[in-house]
A = this chain, B = another copy of it.
Amino acid sequence: VKGDTSVMATTLLTIGEFSRATHLSVKALRHYHDMGVLEPAAIDASSGYRSYGAEQVASAQVIRRLRDLGMPLDSIRTVLAAPGLAERNREIAAHLARMERQLEQTQSAVSSLRALLSGPAPRPVIEFRTIPAVTALVIAEVVDGAETVAWGTGVFAELEEALKATGLEAAGPFGALFPGEFFEIARSEVTVFAPVTLPAGQARQPERHVSGRVHLREVAGIEAAVAMHPGPASETDRTYGALGTVVAERAIGVDGPIREYYPDGFDPAGDYRTEICWPVFLTRSPG
């Protein structure tokens, strides 16, 4: 009679049995209860003993796999509570995309670690230069350090389109501005810009919306220590180190944002160079 499932609505398991059936630790199961991720089917009023329904094994397995993938409990709760498949899959897809970005970062960390350990870098050539102000198509947004590369790809594409749509003439390679905080707290407003030549006679206006996220405005001129990094922007750390050192030695560093130019364009998949400009206060004619 015990095995007659047509009579018993639900088979209840103790937390220990449930732990062995799902390969989740008892401590983890209690934690999931506290966090509202997986509520026991029943709780004994006097003893506090938890009981789990046999049909909860499926949910527990999903939780275990999502945790194996590093998904936070908050997201898992959302996934399990999702009303439809669409919302559920969206949350999971978003997490897998995060993981993919992380994997890319890991791969780049491995390769630059190899480079770092293979010996000292060739000292980059550093020159001091005055960079004049330009008018530019500009997108500025607050960005998280880890997402900058992915974000940049979309932003450069949008600038490219705006350049075509407006018919403005490009006046040099694309660039980007990173405030000091960007490196210190890995999150701040980043400005990406495409310098343009205004048609002769057109007056400069203070700032004008163009389309989507794109505005037309002036990008200030600076004096800077400049070095060309031979590889993509994701691995510029050695050149940053060299620049920061030289500026501390030979000039007065000032507060403005650090600037990068991408003379070969910006293509996360391919190879391109990155010109790094570290703002300084020139006290004498450089050379």
Interface check A86, CB cutoff 8 A: no
Look across to chain B and name the residue whose beta carbon is closest to the beta carbon of A278. B20
Look across to chain B and name the residue whose beta carbon is closest to the beta carbon of A240. B21
Which residues of A (34-48) have their CB < 8 Å from a CB of B?
A: none
Residues in chain B near residue A150, CB distance under 8 A: none
- Using an 8 Å CB-CB cutoff, how does the interface string of A4-46 with B read, 1 for contact, 0 for none? 0100100111001111111101100000000000000000000
Candidates B110, B120, B253; contact of A96 at CB < 8 Å: B110
Contact B120 A21 (CB under 8 A): no
Residues in chain B near residue A64, CB distance under 8 A: 237
Q: From residue A262, how far is it (CB to closest CB) to chain B in Å? A: 18
Contact A243 B21 (CB under 8 A): yes
Q: Total interface residues on A, using CB and 8 Å? A: 63
- Using an 8 Å CB-CB cutoff, how does the interface string of A58-91 with B read, 1 for contact, 0 for none? 1011101110111000000000000000001100
Interface check A142, CB cutoff 8 A: no
Contact A22 B240 (CB under 8 A): yes
The segment from A159-167, A168-176, A182-190, A210-218 found at the interface with B is A182-190
- Using an 8 Å CB-CB cutoff, how does the interface string of A82-125 with B read, 1 for contact, 0 for none? 00000011001000100100010110011011001100100000
Candidates B61, B96, B258; contact of A241 at CB < 8 Å: B61
Which residues of A (234-273) have their CB < 8 Å from a CB of B?
A: 237-238, 240-245, 247-250, 253, 258
Q: Which of A2, A113, A185, A250 has the most CB of B within 10 A?
A: A113
Residues in chain B near residue A2, CB distance under 8 A: 249-250
Candidates B65, B92, B103, B238; contact of A112 at CB < 8 Å: B65
Contact B21 A244 (CB under 8 A): yes
Q: In the complex the two chains form, what is the Cα distance from A272 to B241 in whole Å?
A: 52
Interface check A3, CB cutoff 8 A: yes
Contact B3 A184 (CB under 8 A): no
Candidates B8, B26, B113; contact of A184 at CB < 8 Å: B26
Residues in chain B near residue A238, CB distance under 8 A: 61
Contact B11 A57 (CB under 8 A): no
Residues in chain B near residue A20, CB distance under 8 A: 180, 183-184, 240, 244, 258
Interface check A54, CB cutoff 8 A: yes
Given A11-B245, A99-B106, A185 contacting B112 (CB threshold 8 A): no
Q: From residue A4, how far is it (CB to closest CB) to chain B in Å? A: 9
Contact A58 B244 (CB under 8 A): no
